[in-house]
Chain A
Amino acid sequence: MLSRKILGLTTALTLAAASGAFAETLTIATVNNGDMIRMQGLTDDFTAKTGHEVEWVTLEENVLRQRVTTDITTKGGAFDIMTIGMYETPIWGKNGWLVPLNDLSEQYDVDDLLPAMRAGLSHDGTLYAAPFYGESSMIMYRTDLMEKAGLEMPEEPTWEFIRKAAAAMTDRDNDINGICLRGKAGWGEGGAFITVTGNSFGARWFDEDWNPQFDQPEWKEALTFFVGMMNESGPAGYATNGFNENLSLFQQGKCGMWIDATVAASFVTNPEDSTVADKVGFALAPNKEGVSKKANWLWAWALAVPAGSQKVDAAKEFIEWATSREYIELVAAKEGWANVPPGARTSLYENDNYKDIPFAGMTLKSIKAADPQNPTEKPVPYVGIQFVAIPEFAGIATEVSQEFSAAYAGQQTVEEALAKAQALTNDAMEAAGYK
């Protein structure tokens, strides 16, 4: 009798312990953009399914980068899941700082991830972060202004056409700028844009021996073209404009064209925020005639588990939930198809409900046109399109883009900016031991 009671008690205790072991509280660092905030609102669905609780640490992009980088380099262990991008993932994966995600469940269907996203978030073929959403860049333009200028946007325009169209659309008296582009200093702002512009003119950051290439004619041509076009048709003060500033200008109807992240398409076509919502067309990012690479990038915000986390299994469960097809359907059911996280899964673009969204097709084409393994016309020793996936890049590119911004503002010539960029990149590469 007693032994049966003991047996019963032991079983109950074991069960309680087992269920206790499964119910974890995950701490997740994330970025404060719309899609991530939406995910936080839907976390109850995850908790209901798995029993795990979630605590969010939501930060502005730059702060998030610094926090998670510091946490991972000092092995702080503050987070079970980190939101990171395509720049960090391969570097951290190579260093062994992330848990490989090569054992996700069959139901998750890892093969459904867009190949470009999967490749950009892998190192040596191993996936280290799962894409929550992905993006490339493309041209967003005002169909009415284009018509007024008597031009028609080709699906694959060249830079020469863009410059001509920008000049034709510019109407200074009515505060309309033919083209709005990023000039703001910062590696993820103007640095990213001028890098893809360089790619589309045949320029590259480094040659095969890691020698900086800012002294090459391609860079001079790209930068001279950019400055010339923006002085002709860009908004005043473009040297301080980044993504948000240009988004606001475009939404106010002050830009004829804007080349930027594909995720911006849903903002400029949303009638609640945009005064030009029904007059926006889309085209692939341009290239210089004769150059095979276009000025489009590839980026993903992705979820990863830091190595050394005590809650790896629960963290993986969360990642599977947040980046699954079911999650996309959950968002679509609650908020509509235009608001689902784009650019991560092939199946989304095969979905009949999503095909009707005006920017869906061009987003997919732009993502597919981006190849981080071969980002430039000439061979390079690095991976990454609008960045170079080495730890030193963020620092170098921020300083280089500061020199470029000074040239945009007319504080120095293109030649001076390039000479300084060459010198400081050389210094940094020497300091890092590349040369």
Chain B
Amino acid sequence: MATQHSRSAARLMMAPAVVLLLGWMLVPLTMTLWFSFRKYLPLRGGDLGWVGFDNYVRFVSSSSFWPSVQTTLVIVGGVLAITIVFGVLLALLLDQPMWGQGMVRILVIAPFFVMPTVSALVWKNMFMDSSNGLFAHLWRAFGAAPVEWLSQASLPSLILIVSWQWLPFATLILLTAVQSLDGEQLEASEMDGANPLQRFGYIILPHLSRAITIVVLIQTIFLLSIFAEIFVTTGGAFGTRTLTYLIFQRVLESQNVGLGSAGGIYAVILANIVAIFLMRIVGKNLDA
């Protein structure tokens, strides 16, 4: 039982860390909030004064806003769907005893350690390039005209590139869950006459639900701020401009810090809405 004194001492000793962490988060957030209410144009003389909610209204009423929110959600949703479906399948596959299992696992996980910029460049130049890329050669070998991946199927291509990077993460988490599955339970169900699909639907999938929840939560947080892959491959063209990318354009390309900051605050709000929504809907699994 802690005494009054020891509790105070603990608080005192924790104080520097708490202050540092709060400052770490609060200073940039407060500055963003401050700038979002100001007309701040660095190339036109800097801070030109208070403008109230002008930046907020302008950001939302711009023709690029809703398409960018939609693009963000499509990318996040697409990547989540692919990584979870294939993550579960790969996890089940990797759980099977096989020759060179360790090596295979390392290979499957490898993409996660490739930097986003590098992987986007490799995909763009080596696979998806319409004249020199591997896919173009494959298509030609079968007598078909190469697909302009990044311009004509831009969103699916981006989802593919990002999914390739995040699939190892999902697989790893799900594999751990699969390995913790009770083998006797599966054997018992088999003896009771359950077919593989039933075993998957009634035993494996419910067992994986917590792991899936973790994958969804963590990936969503990172995917909402996806940037490098878009910057490298399409530069925001062909309907691939996410909210993060729009904010980058407003602040750095248009040199409008006020407008971009208002966008930043919207992004924080959006991220929180998504997080709360996820916690409510899927987070329930974590309590079980």
Contact = CB atoms under 8 A, between A and B. Distances in A.
B249 interface: yes
B254 A394 contact: yes
B62 A406 contact: no
Given A73-B46, A185-B234, A237-B130, A432 B41 contact: yes
A309 interface: no
Contact of B249 (A95, A398, A423): A398
Interface in A371-412: 391-392, 394-396, 398-399, 401-402, 405-406, 408-411
B235 A402 contact: yes
A410 B152 contact: yes
Contacts of A69: 42-43, 255
A416 to B, nearest CB: 12
A187 B237 CA distance: 12
The winner among A391, A396, A410 for most chain B CB atoms within 10 A is: A391
Interface in B101-132: 129-131
A392 B43 CA distance: 8
Nearest to A190: B237
A345 to B, nearest CB: 30
A202 interface: no
B229 to A, nearest CB: 15
Interface string B216-258: 0000000000000000001111110100000001101111100
Contact of B255 (A175, A391, A399): A391
A391 B63 CA distance: 21
B253 A398 contact: yes
A240 B44 contact: no
Contacts of A351: none
B152 A409 contact: yes
A405 B151 contact: yes
A432 B44 contact: yes
Interface string A401-429: 11001101111000000001001100110
A107 interface: no
Nearest to B44: A391
Nearest to A402: B237
Nearest to B61: A427
A110 B238 CA distance: 46
A74 B40 CA distance: 12
A418 B58 CA distance: 21
A424 B63 contact: yes
A73 B237 contact: no
A237 B148 CA distance: 6
A431 interface: yes
A186 interface: yes
A220 to B, nearest CB: 19
A236 B130 contact: yes
B255 A395 contact: yes
Given A406-B238, A424-B64, A431-B259, A391 B43 contact: yes
A95 B62 CA distance: 29
Contacts of A187: 253
A70 B129 CA distance: 33
Most B CB contacts (10 A, CB to CB) among A184, A405, A431, A432 go to: A431
Interface size class of B (residues with CB under 8 A): 20 to 34
Contacts of B131: 175, 235-237, 249, 254
Given A185-B234, A236-B130, A424 B62 contact: yes
A66 interface: yes
Nearest to A248: B132
Contact of A427 (B62, B236, B249): B62
A185 B236 contact: yes
Given A395-B250, A424-B62, A409 B151 contact: yes
B148 A236 contact: yes
B235 A184 contact: yes
Contacts of B129: 237
Given A236-B146, A396-B254, A405-B151, 10 more contacts: A73-B42, A186-B235, A239-B148, A395-B255, A395-B256, A402-B241, A405-B238, A406-B238, A409-B152, A427-B62
Interface of B: 41-46, 58, 62-64, 129-131, 145-146, 148, 150-152, 234-239, 241, 249-250, 252-256, 259
30 contacts: A66-B252, A69-B43, A69-B255, A175-B131, A184-B237, A237-B146, A239-B148, A239-B151, A239-B237, A240-B148, A240-B151, A240-B234, A249-B131, A391-B41, A392-B255, A394-B253, A394-B254, A395-B250, A395-B253, A395-B254, A398-B249, A401-B237, A402-B237, A406-B238, A406-B239, A409-B148, A409-B238, A411-B239, A427-B62, A432-B41
Interface of A: 66, 69-70, 73-74, 91, 95, 175, 184-187, 235-237, 239-240, 249, 254, 391-392, 394-396, 398-399, 401-402, 405-406, 408-411, 420, 423-424, 427-428, 431-432
